[in-house]
Structure 1
Amino acid sequence: MNLEDLIRETKPLYISVNQEEMTKNVFKAIRNQTQCTRKYKSSWLKRCGVVASITVLAMGGTFASGFVSPAIASMLSQIPLINTAYNLLENPALSPKGVRQAVTQGFDIKVNQVSSNNGITLTINNAYCAPNEFAFDMVASFSSNVTESPIIRTSDMQISINGTRKLYNLDGGTFEPTADGKYAGIVHFDAHNMQPYSLLPNQFNLEVSITKIGNITGQWNFIVPLSSKDVKNATKVFEPMITKTFNSITFTVQKVMVAPSEIEIDCELKQPLTIIDASTPHLKQLAAYDQAGNRLSGGIVTISKAQRNGNSNIIKITAKYTPPTEPLSNLTVKADGGLNGLSIPFAMQYSQ
């Protein structure tokens, strides 16, 4: 059965459903239709990811109505599920690329904590902690007397550092069905997503509290000790202070931090008050390349407000990138700006 036939078969079955209810029914149908236990592989995802995504979207109404045709069931049996026997922080379907690379290098933290209430058991097995970010996995399982299997969401969690500094703007948290009838996902926090920005403590207790999952209320609590010591020891910091000037605009690379899960570049833009929009950075993008000329994924994450200094405005810029899989021996930074329609290229290099 090809994709066109699948869409043609499901089209008459569309019904209007609540998105969360549809997702829950999709996951339930998938779990009922397959016992696949193979681990995700990137090549497998490339082959079936598009088909699986379209299949789930096309069949939302079908699952909500409780009907699954034999042809659709056959398609579902080919969709791999998350296998919780593996470290979920290494799973390309769940975990950010930088975190995955760091964990495969041995920078993960074993947690192995369990919290159970009202027939739902939550487990945190693994975590990762760096000065700018942390991540942890979570698996939800259900006892036989639970009438529903609600999907846990990041918005269900109250997360704080040492019980005082509450965190928000967490990403990840997309919990997927597992091969053994559970849900599994990753919760990730990037300090740049929270203002005012500040580094995470070197050591702290990450407190996770959940009082409601779906329509089920209860108490699920974790206190996870985290430390970025090993990651910091493996992090290299450079202060190249490389400067380029074009049409009175000065761009400076002040600091570069190369960590197992990220490359962070701190820059400064100095613009004379006489130019148009002097308080707005005349910078379109900031790109980084490794020694092989491969462009690294990422870009600008924060831009400060302009601060006047004499006859100029000073603007601080921070960019973040995912490290290459090969050891980084040379980094090239290119900043492209625009002034009155002109393209302003800056290129600077430094080696470790």
Structure 2
Amino acid sequence: MQRVAVVLFNLGGPDAPESVRPFLENLFTDPAILRVPGFIRPWLGRFIAKRRTKAASENYAIIGGRSPLLELTEEQGRNLEAALNQSGQAEYRCFTAMRYWHPMSDAAARAVQAWEPDSVLLLPLYPQYSTTTTGSSVAAWDQAAAQAGLRVPTTTLCCYHSDPAFAAATAAEVQAAYGRARAALPAEVRLRVLFSAHGLPESIVKRGDPYQWQVEQTVAAVVGALTIPGLDHVVCYQSRVTPQKWIGPSTEAELERAGHDKVAVLVCPIAFVSEHSETLVELDVEYREEAERLGVPGYFRVPAQNSDPGFIAALRDLVLRTVAGSRRLCSFAGGRQCPKPFGDCPHAKAPARSKEMA
């Protein structure tokens, strides 16, 4: 029986208060994140990390001084592994490769090599592709795999933003949360859904990153799977960390608009599939306080998927389809999904690889 290693990519997060600063240094010295000349980046990245350590530490203190992301990702891996092995088509094992804190790609690649798989599937826990997330993780993995001497056929699933099963699983969470929010509100108070995604500098999108387009495709697919006629909803972006112009509208601006319109909000973290500081602190604490200050008549949130059975089943089906295919680079639907203007789509960057054996 074939042995398939499934490598789950995620951001990672500090596992103790003293890990916050080195985690931030890893983040801000990544060339995919801090796009400045290489000779400046190490100094500037450490400077930014130092300035942000105090605020970040205070945020992590709210949730126990550490990120829950590793435990949640490992739980997702265990559930996905069990679901995959029920298929009987191959022997699957899931591995975790975090980008900015342990276990990172070097440790994951050594663990995969020790297991001696026949093939590897790279599965980002980022539904939408960005050069700053999946792209950076793939680059780190390629380097780590080469250093570990891991030379087996490797397939990358670049995105699943509009996968019907993923959209349906997400819609089920939104539908349930909408029902709970509606039941808690007076009948005369309207309810608006804010599909909030992590933002990006506008310059990165203008250079061809498809992330914003893919986020919009996700929202369209999720809204289409809902049974809420005339849903009042908007796509917005959170977590701005640099002074340059970022894509919008911002989640803060949408909270202000909701306060002006006197509508309650249900916030759905549409680009996150695990709870972490951006959901547990930014959404649950900071934006809730901001909503109260702005007079928003109700603030509710859709939980992240974590190990929701529908989400795990969607990942299982994505893996099985991808492994059964012949492409070494593929989307949830096989070939390229992004329109041609998005030159940073991985299929545009590596057309020969995406068509290999197709």
TM-score by length of 1: 0.24
Higher relative contact order (CA 8 A, sep 6+): 2
Task: Find the structure with the greater CA-based Rg.
Answer: 1
Give the helix-richer structure, 1 or 2: 2
Give the strand-richer structure, 1 or 2: 1
